Structure 1
Amino acid sequence: MGNVAKRPDGKYRARWRDLSGKEHAKHFTKKRDADAWLAIVEGDKLRGQYVDPTDRTTVAQYARRWAAARPHNPRTAKRVDSLIRTHIEGTSIGSRRLVQVLPSDAQAWVTERAQVLSPSTLRLLVSLVRSVYASAQHDRLVGSSPFAARLTMPEAHQERIIPLTVDQVHQLADAMPTRNRAMVLTQAGLGLRIGELLALRLVDVDFLRRTVRVETQIAPGERTRTAPKTSWSRRTVPLPAPVAEALAAHIEGFPPPADGTLFTTRFGKPYRHDYYGTRIFQAAVAAAGLPSSTTPHDLRHHYASILLHAGESVVAVAERLGHKNAKLVLSTYGHLMPDSEERTRKAVENAWRKGGADSARTSARVESRNRRSRRFVRR
């Protein structure tokens, strides 16, 4: 328990010990203020809500501590490190103590970051800082999070995707070097991410069962395989006949090295993202006369659009793409679902026709009963 004692200078010192046994003190002019403070401290300790008011950990320091304790894969760890270094350290909140940041400070920081970040990246950053403060609450370094309040952020306007047509995909494949032609057809026919495409091995392709198993990826800047970012990315994808034929021809023409990598450089090494995407792929885009903004990811959009146009459910499309649920599919590709406007019109028209017919039949029955009732009264 704490205690309050009068000092020689006439002030009152409230003393208490924190949960680790370390002693703290705070001085007050009036004894009742010291007693009230001590009562609050002891109450917080009993409720498990005690926060050390003398802790001087800054937001940036704790963000580093939080990140180091997380089991992030190398790619995520690199992204988190970049966000902390660039957008927390050296900003208006980075050097401040955790307990000093107010909700208004949090909003000011968000507004400041919105000037240099895209809306989607800003949301990732705010989510990170919210996680940092949630952890600080569990560690009893803050009583509440200034980021728990609703923050005003710029809206993210997503441009509508215009997928490549089948003819455009084949034009692109034809414009690729012979060694890379099957890469275009494989990504477009399986809906793979570029990292999944580059990591594809012979053992992943089951020609007999006509399936492809996605088990690994190659991250940007790397040439070694790592596990996919999420468990949902591990999946089995149906192998269409045209893709199987393209892969068989590629394997015959460019036999895989000892590790089974299907798509390699002439030195037998896996491609790096930047080399394949910016040099080989972009050169083919120009040669095929496609928009300069076309990237390998557009082949994934092509795959999703074909499945939706064929009537596949958004749940099935999400599974094929390796997404956790159908929400992202709906938000990204909802406008590509075929005949949705016509289905809406027909649904309302059919319902109203049926409702109108039912209403007419009901009115006729009521009027018939009324006539019978009037005849009975006259008798």
Structure 2
Amino acid sequence: MSQETCTLATQLVRGMGSFFKNCECSRQSRCPHPYAIRYRDATGRQCEETGYANQTAALDRLNKVYDEKRNTPRQKADLKRQVGKQRFGEYASTWLPRQRHYVPGSVRSVNQVLNCHVLPVLESRRMNTFTPTVVEDFIMSMEERSVGLAAQQNAFDTLKKILLDAHRRGGITENPLDGVIPPEYIPRKITIPTLDEIHALKAAGSDELVLLIDQMSGCGLRNGEAYATHPDRMVADDVYRITEQIDGRTRQPARLKHRKPGEFRESPMPWTVRESILRFERNHGVGANGYLLRTQRADHWAHTTLNYQWEAAKKRAGITKRLTPYSLRHFFASNCLSNGIPITDVAEWMGHKNINMTFKIYRHLMPASVGRAARLLNGGL
């Protein structure tokens, strides 16, 4: 800043910082422009803030910052400084192993997002230099590279988690996401199979595929959760407890997505699903540790197993519509919402971390909610 624009700069106690007006008014003490402050935070990085109405407000903020610095233990201040000086790539490589709640599939997804979209742009940047402007420039760079909105949102969400973690640990003083407008991905229209198509797939599929179709369309399970189908999970005649999933690549049991180890969720179990599980157990018995779905060479299904059997059944059934196994989850949600079940319950049964995602994908399936509300309000009038 030039000498002319900071004529009111006032030095305070050594190390406390300064306050000033960044204007060219001849009588700055009486002009309406706000005061700004400049100081060094606990990591040694110079910071500047503006928007203070008077000297008292600016001094109060400087006093608060100075007290925080003096009361911060030396070891903690050194840690903050160390975090702030790290390159983003280095920090991200230490952040991911600390996310112990991530299942293996989530770890692979985050690594893919980092390597494809985030690290090529931000890997060498120091953590204490991240500001809202830097984050907005990153979003703009993805737009310039014509990155899809879904990929943009995934990249932004990953970056956001890493930066907020560094902010919480003191490596970034101010919130680097303050005021940033994230990219908004609007899910495309989902494809829901009809009941006739589900019956056709079951008629053309193996007994194993039939069991998986019943679990996903009837209880709303994810692929990996259906691989872990177990008779003991029927905790009541109409309740199925989901306690784990089978990783679709490693074929090994893993904890549920968005759940800590040992946590579970429960889903309503229609009579047809219960009969499907019991029938399969009678006809084929159980495999290792009681799991039902297995192959001749492995104790558990994998994504390759499902993809092969799904495409074969579609071909035999003559279905050309763009249906994937995940479409069965959409059928479950549609079945629930069209029968008046609250979307909050549907989100819980499907294991969504945030109900906003459930609203984005399935709100249009709620039967004429606005029209129904209008009729009810009219009756009250």
With structure 2 as the length reference, what TM-score do the two structures score? 0.72
1:270 counterpart residue number? 300
SS in 1 for 2:218: helix
SS in 2 for 1:237: strand
Q: Which segments of structure 1 move beyond 6 Å, counting only runs of 4 or more?
A: 39-44
Structure 1 residues 264, 246: CA separation in 2 closer, same or farther (over 3 Å shift)?
A: same
SS in 1 for 2:289: coil
Instruction: Find out whether 1:226 has 2:254 as its counterpart.
Output: yes
Identity of aligned residues (%): 22
Moved more, 216-225 or 328-337: 328-337
* Aligned residue among 328, 335, 352 for 2:364: 335
**Shift of residue 299 of structure 1?**
0.9
* Aligned residue among 169, 181, 184 for 2:198: 169
Structure 1 residues 292, 143: CA separation in 2 closer, same or farther (over 3 Å shift)?
A: same
* Aligned residue among 189, 209, 213 for 1:184: 213
Letter in 1 for 2:249: G
| Number of aligned residues | 321
Instruction: Find out whether 1:217 has 2:245 as its counterpart.
Output: yes
**Shift of residue 145 of structure 1?**
4.1
Gaps of at least 5 residues in structure 2 are 1-12, 16-40, 47-62
Structure 1 residues 194, 99: CA separation in 2 closer, same or farther (over 3 Å shift)?
A: same
Instruction: Find out whether 1:127 has 2:160 as its counterpart.
Output: no
**Shift of residue 126 of structure 1?**
1.9
CA–CA distance in 2 between the matches of 1:58 and 1:310? 52
SS in 1 for 2:120: coil
Gaps of at least 5 residues in structure 1 are 4-17, 27-38, 355-379
1:100 counterpart residue number? 129
Instruction: Find out whether 1:293 has 2:317 as its counterpart.
Output: no
Structure 1 residues 304, 138: CA separation in 2 closer, same or farther (over 3 Å shift)?
A: closer
Letter in 1 for 2:227: L
Moved more, 137-146 or 216-225: 137-146
Q: Looking at CA atoms only, which structure, 1 or 2, has the larger radius of gyration? A: 1
Letter in 1 for 2:282: E
1:158-190, Cα deviation, whole Å (9 max, x unpaired): 223342222111111111124422221232111
What is the aligned-residue RMSD (CA, Å)?
Answer: 3.6
Contact 2:218 2:273 in 1 (8 A): yes
2:87 counterpart residue number? 58
With structure 1 as the length reference, what TM-score do the two structures score? 0.72
1:76 counterpart residue number? 106
* Aligned residue among 272, 275, 283 for 1:253: 283
Contact 2:142 2:152 in 1 (8 A): yes
**Shift of residue 2 of structure 1?**
7.5
1:168-217, Cα deviation, whole Å (9 max, x unpaired): 111111111244222212321111111100011222235x6343221110
Letter in 2 for 1:216: E
**Shift of residue 105 of structure 1?**
3.0
**Shift of residue 101 of structure 1?**
4.0
CA–CA distance in 2 between the matches of 1:285 and 1:339? 32
**Shift of residue 240 of structure 1?**
1.9
Letter in 2 for 1:263: L
1:320 counterpart residue number? 349
CA–CA distance in 2 between the matches of 1:274 and 1:113? 32
